[in-house]
Amino acid sequence: MRWYPPNDELNPDPTNGSSTADYTSLGVIGHLGSALDRLQRVYGSHTRLPIYDTEFGYITSPPKRSPDPASDGKVLYLSPATAAYYMNWAEYISWRNPRLRSFAQYPMYDPFRPLASNGYGGFASGLLTWNGIPKATYNAWRLPLYLPVTNGRSGQALQVWGCVRPAPYGSHDTGAAQTAQIQFEPGSSGGFTTIQTLTLNSAGSCYFDVRVKFPASGTVRLSFGYPLADPLLLAAHDQVVSRSVQVTLRK
């Protein structure tokens, strides 16, 4: 639960230089893998044990006060929009690492109504506020979207990575592979149009990784239509969208 980018770790040695450490984070997850490998070799084994990420999330402001008054200004909580961006970035890093077998958001709801007595919301890394209002992280978790490079030349294809998290469940219910749309809006207005339709793997993976040529600078998003009524009060065929990503092309 960090407030800085997921490829970084501000405190990589939590035990102040001693020979053992009691935690790791995504930014330095390779250290954990190396430690596990060394332990295996002690016993004559070359097995590379998998690593499972069972708890990930970003505490947001609001509801927290940023900087945290209890931290002497050292902890700067993220806006929900920045947390959404970092969340998608973190999942992309995890997806690229074959050692990592899971990526888990924690929790669904912020735990408390934000009051001074509970530090303005406690461990407020939820996708929903304490009273059920979606944060920007809600759509970022439902439809992750990440472009490793957002600047390029006109005509250059850019990598578009993402996940349509509800798709495997729709495939299971309907027996058919689900589709999603990469949509684009030129400039700052004009409306989104679909520039590529994705067919998701009916075997159960929500992930895709494609290269797309965009016609101009503008905004990219992912769109998905639920095939069935959703238990979270979504009607059948409702369209949901990811966070938006800006791309800039130069001639």
pLDDT digits (tens, 9 = 90+) for 120-135: 999 999 999 999 999 9
Same domain, 45 and 69: yes
More confident residue, 176 or 116: 116
| Cα 20 to Cα 13, 15, 17, 23, 178, distances in angstroms | 9, 7, 8, 9, 46
Q: Alpha-carbon distance 225 to 204, whole Å?
A: 17
Closest of 104, 84, 47, 44 to residue 244, by C-alpha: 84
Same domain, 30 and 127: yes
Dump pLDDT digits (tens) for 220-251.
Answer: 999 998 876 555 545 545 789 999 999 999 98
Same domain, 147 and 173: yes
Q: Check residue 69 and give its pLDDT.
A: 85
Confidence of residue 16 (pLDDT cuts 50, 70, 90): very low
Q: Alpha-carbon distance 92 to 16, whole Å?
A: 30
Q: Whole-prediction pTM value?
A: 0.90
Mapped onto helix, strand or coil, the DSSP state of residue 97 is coil
Residue 16 domain flag? no
More confident residue, 167 or 194: 194
Amino acid identity, residue 197? T
- Spatial CB neighbours of 182, under 8 Å, sequence gap ≥ 6: 160, 194, 195, 196, 197, 198, 210, 212, 220, 221, 222
Same domain, 118 and 159: no
Lowest mean pLDDT among 10-14, 50-54, 69-73, 188-192: 10-14
Same domain, 34 and 124: yes
Question: Residue 182's domain is classified under what CATH number?
Answer: 2.60.40.730
Same domain, 105 and 171: no
Examine the fold and report which residue of 85, 114, 140 is the final residue of a domain before the chain moves on.
140
Same domain, 168 and 70: no
- Give the structural domain span for 186: 143-250
pLDDT of 18 over the 50 cut? no
Q: Check residue 209 and give its pLDDT.
A: 96
Q: Check residue 227 and give its pLDDT.
A: 73
Same domain, 159 and 205: yes
Mean pLDDT of the chain: 89
By DSSP bridging, strand 151-153 and strand 245-250 are parallel
Same domain, 119 and 179: no
Token reading at 163: 């996940």
pLDDT of 81 over the 70 cut? yes
Residue 70 domain flag? yes
Confidence of residue 100 (pLDDT cuts 50, 70, 90): very high
Residue 11 domain flag? no
Find the mean pLDDT for residues 12-27.
64
- Spatial CB neighbours of 156, under 8 Å, sequence gap ≥ 6: 213, 249
Residue 107 domain flag? yes
Q: What is the total count of domains within the chain?
A: 2
**Owner of token pair 């509800």:** 166
Examine the fold and report which residue of 88, 109, 140 is the final residue of a domain before the chain moves on.
140
Find the mean pLDDT for residues 189-211.
88
Which percentage of the chain shows pLDDT scores above 90?
Answer: 70
Q: Check residue 178 and give its pLDDT.
A: 85
Residue 155 domain flag? yes
Confidence of residue 17 (pLDDT cuts 50, 70, 90): very low
Same domain, 155 and 201: yes
Examine the fold and report which residue of 100, 125, 140 is the final residue of a domain before the chain moves on.
140
Count of C-beta atoms within a 10 Å radius of residue 138: 21
More confident residue, 185 or 228: 185
Closest of 42, 122, 124 to residue 83, by C-alpha: 124
Q: Alpha-carbon distance 189 to 212, whole Å?
A: 20
Same domain, 158 and 177: yes
Same domain, 46 and 106: yes
